[in-house]
Amino acid sequence: MPTSSPLSALSQTISRSPLASRTSSSTKLSSFPVLSSKASAYWLLASATSVFGIVIFGGLTRLTESGLSITEWRPVTGSFPPRNETVWEEEFALYKLSPEFKMLNSRMDLDEFKQIYWMEWGHRLWGRVVGITFLLPTAYFIARRRVSAQMARRLVGICGLIGFQGVIGWWMVKSGLKDELLETGSQPRVSQYRLATHLGTAFVAYLAMLWNGLQILREHRLVQNPEEGMKLLSTLQRPELRPLRRYVGALSGLVFLTAISGALVAGLDAGLVYNNFPWMGQGLLPPRREMLDPFYSHTPDQADLIWRNMLENPVLAQLDHRVLATTTFTAIMGLWAYSRFSPAVRRLLPRSGRTGILGVVHLVTIQVTLGITTLWYLVPTPLASAHQAGALALLTGVFVLASRVTVPKRTLRLVQGALDRAQTGHQALNARRVVEAATRSRVAAAM
């Protein structure tokens, strides 16, 4: 009866293993790789950087009151600026029909119009560039199978989000072009609800690009050394670190909410209501009649008094933002104290997590300083723009921290699979060495 060698026995065992069966079946089901390419990660991070830039430029467009200068939405032909003076005059004539011109800029000449036109045109062009530079590479990476099946679905989703963002942008601008704004007491500005939606959608697209890019690079780094990677993930999964992981997740939502409340403040020009800090007038809180003004209620029984004042009253909107910002600052300082003075967290938290927390502390300190200074100096454009950039930078820092302390199930499976393959390779190598040693022994005995 013939005896099988250790190597052949090992090969048969591996071929019958569940891991091999799953790998074989998954290969038949999909030609997408398990791990997305590093190139796709770098492209995602570059796209996120571009979105970061357009968010700041969009804020400058609003601060310079340029956002309502283009009164039509032409997705294709609007990519080209006016070619001659005749076209410029036509664009200016359209702007003269807008409430903003009639109420605020009736003395504006063509040269002044060109300045605000170029700002809005540049913002829209940048948006088109973001869309093209994301859509075309997405098609390439999916067609060439350079990303995993899960990542392919996410990229398609982000493409849809970018297209939706363009529609939201025009929907927002349209709210500032309504003839109803010519009524007494109205202001020629966009709806704060639509402004917050526009900014929030941009933030979501940015964070989706950032998070997925970071996750791809992290997966490559962990899979490259699966033994060390599994040790790191096992440490992060320890029960002692579970409260910290949840804390960081909740903190991400709090920072996002604070940033959106800032969009409401911007849309209502609420930063100009009270310009001292921490006081609001003579006390920490403004007078009750200013916070809950019946003017903003739309129902006879005033059932909507509180929430409408929160979203439409500049006084209460500024107070809400102050409370959220103070809560965010306190929460981040609490996270730092917890990571430093909890013995278990201090012992188990990896260095990348500690540096991430310290970075968030620095960012929130800068952001709070910018916010207070912006109030004190009556919202000058440079400080207001820096404050908006600080909000997105802080959100970035919190998400980078989250990417370092969370353990997605997919990442865990990838590292476990890489570790299993590495161990299988070691076993096969040892079996091969046994076979080679036995062969040399038989040859030596025969001689």
What 3-state class would DSSP assign to 280? Answer: strand
Q: Cα-atom radius of gyration of the chain, to the nearest Å? A: 29
Residue 252 has what pLDDT?
98
* Alpha-carbon span 268 to 389, nearest angstrom: 19
pLDDT for 8 equals 45
Per the CB < 8 A criterion, the answer to whether 349 and 390 are in contact is no
Q: Is the pLDDT of residue 6 over 50?
A: no
Residue identified by tokens 């791990």 is: 35
Please give the structure tokens belonging to residue 124.
């829209």
Sign of torsion, CA 179 188 262 276? negative
Q: What is the residue whose two structure tokens read 């999909």?
A: 30
Cα–Cα distance measured from residue 143 to residue 419, given in angstroms and rounded to the nearest whole number:
29
Instruction: Classify residue 134 as exposed, middle or buried by CB count within 10 Å of its CB (0-12, 13-18, 19+).
Output: buried
Residue 277: exposure state from Cβ atoms within 10 A (0-12, 13-18, ≥19): middle
Separation of alpha carbons 272 and 361, rounded Å = 28
Q: Residue 427: is its pLDDT beyond 90?
A: no
Closest by CA to 387, choosing from 52, 49, 59, 47, is 59
Local structure of 32: helix, strand or coil: coil
CA atoms within 13 A on the CB side of 104: 15
Q: Are 322 and 329 in contact (CB under 8 A)?
A: no
pLDDT band at 157 (very low <50, low <70, confident <90, very high): very high
Mean pLDDT of 51-69: 97
pLDDT digits (tens, 9 = 90+) for 377-426: 999 999 999 999 999 999 999 999 999 999 999 999 999 888 888 777 65
Contact, 396 vs 360, CB < 8 A?
no
- How confident is the model over 309-346, as pLDDT tens digits? 999 999 999 999 999 999 999 999 999 999 999 999 99
**Separation CA 165–CA 347 (nearest Å):** 44
151: CB partners within 8 A, 6+ apart: 36, 40, 212, 216
Mean pLDDT, rounded, for 286-305? 95
Q: What does the pLDDT look like over 112-137, one tens digit per residue?
A: 999 999 999 999 999 999 999 999 99
Amino acid letter for position 354: R
Please give the Cα distance from 18 to 40 (Å, whole number): 31
Q: Which secondary structure element, helix H or strand E, spans residue 27, and what is its range?
A: helix 18-29
Q: What is the 3-state secondary structure (H, E, C) of 304-353?
A: CHHHHHHHHCHHHHHHHHHHHHHHHHHHHHHHHHHHHHCHHHHHHCCHHH
Q: What pLDDT sits at residue 187?
A: 79
Res. 179 pLDDT band, cuts 50 70 90: confident
Global pTM reads 0.88
List of residues 6+ apart from 313 with CB closer than 8 A: 268, 290, 291, 292, 293, 296
